[in-house]
Structure 1
Amino acid sequence: MSEPSSASTTSGGAPVIILNAPQLAENIGAVARVMANFGLADLRLVNPRDGWPQERAWALASGAEWPLNDARVYDSVAAAIADLQTVFATTARPRELSLPVLTPRSAAADLSEAVGRGERVGLLFGGERAGLETSDIALCQAVVTIPIDPKFRSLNLGQAVAINAYEWRTTVEAAAPAAFRQGPGPATGEAMLGLYEHLERELDTAGFFHPPEKTPNMTQNLRAALAKARFTDQEVRTFRGVITALSRGRGKVLEKIAQKKAGEG
């Protein structure tokens, strides 16, 4: 039996649920129903295959309409997490990246602590067939892997969200009063993406990415390493200032070399 369809039944400060490239409206509806069961309301869709809205999603939600009514659509994972400070990717462990790997239970505990510090948090889920790209996982701070039996690894999108949402709900029920962290919180996804792109542009100019075909893996590893540092907004600005200073210094050196060669000529 479904509860009354009111967004007021959800708890504040809960994780955002981000679905990357969901294929079936029925699965999106099932996710909305699970979200309502466990007090989650903020649903974000990245490039849903069949567009949005889709009537079949409401039919499968069984009255849990508020996550669907307020769902927002984005054209990239980076845009969908731009205002969030802590995002965990729910996927199999990526071999290409060195990120913390958590169970849903430990992830829920970490997210609960982050919310207690006043951070905005989210859980990222991949599409039904393709899952998540390594480049999207590299934008996150950790990986959540569900410990399922290797004899049968098939787990649909609604089930994956349900397991993580349940673990989150247990932290809400057992939570002590929130103790907010002194000082600034981590930078947003938007600020971190700006840092990544700034650094990558300068490294590309300096010829760091060699051979060229390894550039995607190198940038993903750099992003994952920086994500683990949990920079504040001020630290992001400082780091970008360092990059700018180094690039300007390189430019001056090249200018002097050019002047010297011109003089010798």
Structure 2
Amino acid sequence: MADHRSPAIILHSPQLGENIGAAARVMRNFGLTDLRLIAPRDGWPNPAAETMSAGAFGAGVTVSVYETLPEALEGITWLAAATARLRGMEKRVGDARDAAETAHARLRAGKSAIMFGAEKSGLPNDAVALSDFLMTYPVDPDFKSLNLAQAVCVFCSEWGRIALGPRGDDEAVKAGLGALAPRDELYRMFEHFEEELERAGYFFPPEKTALMKDNLRAALIRADWTQQEVQTFRGAIKALALGRGKARVIRED
């Protein structure tokens, strides 16, 4: 039976039901059961997905559907983004084996997820910015045409090699650290931080706001935040905001 903490597979804006079903099929082959869909183009449930799944949905693969990325990241403490382009962000980068090994080493730390983009457009930059790790495959540069379900298969096979084959003891969480913060809590912290930066006039010029937010999130995400650290940082943001308000009152007087 698959470990309930094994990685979730997130499909961001998938287009074809066939790819969803094929992804579910290969997931179940390698012991993965948590499939999360963000805004599937053709809705859910999808008969084409059922046909391609070869019974995977009845064999344990569960499907959760979300409208937005933050909702889909509930409970996630480590996120890898599958991308062919490194996007100019300072991120840890590796292949499917690296991603699988990291996710497996973090089993005791919480739940990981591997995120894949839409068939035509891949992942949007704001989704990549929220990831801890960029997973890229060493494909032939002259032919990079990898189907979505095939991309999922590459990772799942590496996960199965580690999780279902002979293995040693899991690596523990870093000694002394508390529970890692789920990604949805981090997202709310980012929004809180960015709201105060907006009020302070930090995002200038306006046309660079999205890029500046992506860069801030990419930098902050590398810190491996615990839940306590998130609470502390949000308290600090609130204190700074209150302090700025007091300073404004003093100047007005």
* Normalised TM-score (structure 1): 0.90
Question: Counterpart of 2:134 in 1: which secondary structure?
Answer: strand
Please give the alpha-carbon distance, in whole angstroms, between the structure 2 residues aligned to 1:101 and 1:178. Answer: 22
- In 2, are the aligned partners of 1:32 and 1:67 still within 8 Å (CA)? no
- In 2, are the aligned partners of 1:83 and 1:188 still within 8 Å (CA)? yes
Instruction: Give the C-alpha shift of residue 61 in structure 1.
Output: 1.2
Superposed, 1:228-243 pairs within 5 Å as 228-243=222-237
Please give the alpha-carbon distance, in whole angstroms, between the structure 1 residues aligned to 2:169 and 2:4. Answer: 13
- In 2, are the aligned partners of 1:43 and 1:67 still within 8 Å (CA)? no
- In 2, are the aligned partners of 1:14 and 1:40 still within 8 Å (CA)? yes
- In 1, are the aligned partners of 2:15 and 2:42 still within 8 Å (CA)? yes
Cα displacement string for residues 144-195 of structure 1 (whole angstroms, at most 9, x for unaligned residues): 0011000000000111000000111111123223353343132111110111
2:147 maps to amino acid? N
2:162 is the counterpart of 1:168: no
When residues 12 and 174 of structure 1 are mapped into structure 2, their CA distance, relative to the original with a 3 A threshold, is: farther
Please give the alpha-carbon distance, in whole angstroms, between the structure 1 residues aligned to 2:58 and 2:130. Answer: 28
State the partner residue of 1:213. Answer: 207
CA RMSD of aligned residues (A): 1.5
Match of 1:252 among 234, 246, 250: 246
Please give the alpha-carbon distance, in whole angstroms, between the structure 1 residues aligned to 2:65 and 2:90. Answer: 29
2:220 maps to amino acid? L
Cα displacement string for residues 48-70 of structure 1 (whole angstroms, at most 9, x for unaligned residues): 00100011111111222237862
Please give the alpha-carbon distance, in whole angstroms, between the structure 2 residues aligned to 1:67 and 1:127. Answer: 25
- Structure 1 residues 84-93 or 45-54, which shifts more? 84-93
Match of 1:86 among 78, 100, 119: 78
Which blocks of at least 5 consecutive residues in structure 2 are unaligned? none
- In 1, are the aligned partners of 2:9 and 2:34 still within 8 Å (CA)? yes
Paired positions, count: 250
Question: Counterpart of 1:171 in 2: which secondary structure?
Answer: helix
Superposed, 1:126-145 pairs within 5 Å as 126-145=117-136
Please give the alpha-carbon distance, in whole angstroms, between the structure 2 residues aligned to 1:141 and 1:19. Answer: 17
- In 2, are the aligned partners of 1:105 and 1:164 still within 8 Å (CA)? yes
* Normalised TM-score (structure 2): 0.94
State the partner residue of 2:64. Answer: 72
2:172 maps to amino acid? F
State the partner residue of 2:140. Answer: 149
State the partner residue of 2:172. Answer: 180
2:117 maps to amino acid? G
Please give the alpha-carbon distance, in whole angstroms, between the structure 1 residues aligned to 2:116 and 2:250. Answer: 51
Question: Counterpart of 2:109 in 1: which secondary structure?
Answer: coil
State the partner residue of 1:227. Answer: 221
Please give the alpha-carbon distance, in whole angstroms, between the structure 2 residues aligned to 1:256 and 1:56. Answer: 65
Cα displacement string for residues 77-104 of structure 1 (whole angstroms, at most 9, x for unaligned residues): 1110121101101112332421111111
Larger C-alpha radius of gyration, 1 or 2? 1
Which blocks of at least 5 consecutive residues in structure 1 are unaligned? 1-8, 260-265
Question: Counterpart of 2:212 in 1: which secondary structure?
Answer: helix
